[in-house]
Structure 1
Amino acid sequence: MIVEQIKNCIKRGEVLPGEKMPSERTLASRLSVSRTSVKEAYSVLESSGIVEIRQGSGVYLLINNVEDIMNKLQALIRGQSANMIDLMELRQALEVDIAYYAAYRRGQQDIVKLEQSYLQLEQAVFTNRLAAEEDLAFHMNIAKVARNYLLAQVMNMVSDQVLIGLEDSRARSLDVPGQSEQILQEHRAIYQSIKDGHPSSASAAMRKHLENVKQRYL
């Protein structure tokens, strides 16, 4: 989040190449985070060749093309394309419990929104589209319904990686007759369990879906 804020600051021209960046104290106050977190963010930026930390002087944006700096920052935020199996294990660790809490805490408005995202996914599948973005939107919606701020934040942090994985796995599925429809049914089972307010069934349906995604990839 801090790196994202710094990127926006540079993009707006608030700090130009060669100029001094805001101090740890200033940035921590502005973003309502700890100075330790800001220090770690600056260390990451330095190792990526974006800033230079000068002891006793401060942090400076390296003299460089602003577009190049933007590209480096975006790559840093997005990260390297994750190993698919590592990504699936991370999703299992997060989303099985997310589905449980979503089924436990969902309200009527949550059900309406979740149904809308499911129907958008269904439409994408029936029209033979890749449906990666609709798939991601469905899972992100469940994270919101779970009403756990930290779980939702972690899902937001890895959403770019998840989308890359979905684009890969769904492209493979399009080449296998009937597989996209099977995946849709797995999503339907998750949605129905959350709608019906059955936490254990929802987590089981999510676990089965993510395990199937991993097995199909393998």
Structure 2
Amino acid sequence: MVSTAKNTLTLKTKRALQERILDDATKVGDKLPTEKALALELGVSRTTIREAIAALRADGLLEAKHGVGVFVSQKLDLDAHAVQGSDSFHFSASMLDILELRMAVEVHAAGLAASRRSWAQEEKIWQAADAFKMAFANNDSTEEADWAFHRSIAEATNNEAFREFFDRMGLAIRPWRAPQGAKLGTLITPPYLSKSIDEHDAICEAIATGDVERARECMKNHIGRSQMRFRGLMRGADENDLETSNVLDGEQ
């Protein structure tokens, strides 16, 4: 109950800060007040402010400059963005909660795909992985290719519920990502995307060889890395620490 209340308070604080960012008086490049000032203004602890700021940094709306402060890096209505194209559904849960949900669904989906995929479905998974590589090489947004990759695995389960889950949830269960040519959020960076290419290939190989347990493990590592990085952000880790972090057994 304490954890649930804490998560709710952090979410409310995040929304309050997001409203400040979206206010017409706030411009890209503006510096936020100090943690102490925000805590007094919103009536919460500095720890809650720190967690809310970390979440908004991961969303790409804020940028922290060591020794200087926290600045507005983009103005984007994340709630509206999440609703668009997803049957007007969106989660109010934190990204960590959403990643935990994806872990449960997609690890099982990868295992089912390894045992049930057709040749055509396997080819579609490879094509999506190749499209991700091409987008990254061309410095284009990888978001749609990444989603197509995960969606194609759900389709290869040959279980309509998995396919419907992805189709209905849409943007609501994936982190918002800036195009690579634009300013990236701290969570999604070029080194992160480069590593994702290797992880996609490992997942493809496991599915193609029908190795159910390997497919599950590769998907677990793939999503688990996002979980670890997001936890790092919540703890205030810098980008170098995030890039070198590994998925540890039991952390999922």
- 2:243 maps to none
1:24-43 paired onto structure 2 within 5 Å: none
Instruction: Letter of the 1:204 partner, please give it.
Output: E
Alpha-carbon separation, structure 2, partners of 1:217 and 1:97: 22
**Which of 151, 172, 177 is residue 162 of structure 2 equivalent to?**
151
Matched residue type, 2:171: D
State whether residues 141 and 178 of structure 2, in contact with CA within 8 Å, keep that contact through their aligned partners in structure 1: no
Percent identity for Structure 1 against Structure 2? 28
Judge conservation of contact 1:103–1:202 (CA < 8 Å) in 2: yes
- Find 1:172's aligned residue among 173, 185, 202: 185
Distance (Å, rounded) in 2 between the aligned partners of 1:96 and 1:169: 27
Q: 2:203 aligns with which of 190, 210, 215?
A: 190
Alignment of 1:39-188 (within 5 A): 77-80=88-91, 82-163=93-174, 165-167=175-177, 171-172=184-185, 176=189, 178-188=191-201
* Cα deviations by residue, 1:26-72 (Å, 9 ceiling, x for unpaired): xxxxxxxxxxxxxxxxxxxxxxxxxxxxxxxxxxxxxxxxxxxxxxx
**Superposition deviation, residue 175 in structure 1:** 7.0
Q: RMSD across aligned C-alpha pairs, in angstroms?
A: 2.6
1:198, CA displacement in angstroms?
A: 0.7
- Structure 2 distance, partners of 1:143, 1:100, is 10
Structure 2 distance, partners of 1:149, 1:81, is: 25
Name the CA shift for 1:166/1:103 in 2 (closer, same or farther; >3 Å): farther
User: Which structure has the larger Rg?
Assistant: 1
Aligned length: 145
Which has a greater percent of helix?
A: 1
Q: Structure 1 residue 143: deviation in Å?
A: 0.3
Structure 1: how far apart are the matches of 2:141 and 2:112?
Answer: 29
TM-score by length of 1: 0.59
Structure 2 residues without counterparts, runs of 5 or longer: 1-82, 232-252
Unmatched segments (≥5 aa) in structure 1: 1-72
2:133 maps to a residue whose letter is: E
Is the 1:140–1:155 contact (alpha carbons within 8 Å) kept by the matching residues of 2?
yes
Counterpart residue type for residue 200 of structure 1: E
Q: CA deviation at 1:184?
A: 1.2
Q: Is 154-163 or 103-112 further displaced after alignment?
A: 154-163
Q: CA deviation at 1:153?
A: 1.3
CA contact (8 A) 1:102 1:143 kept: yes
Is residue 200 from structure 1 mapped to residue 213 from structure 2 by the alignment? yes
How far does residue 151 in structure 1 lie from its aligned partner after superposition? 1.8
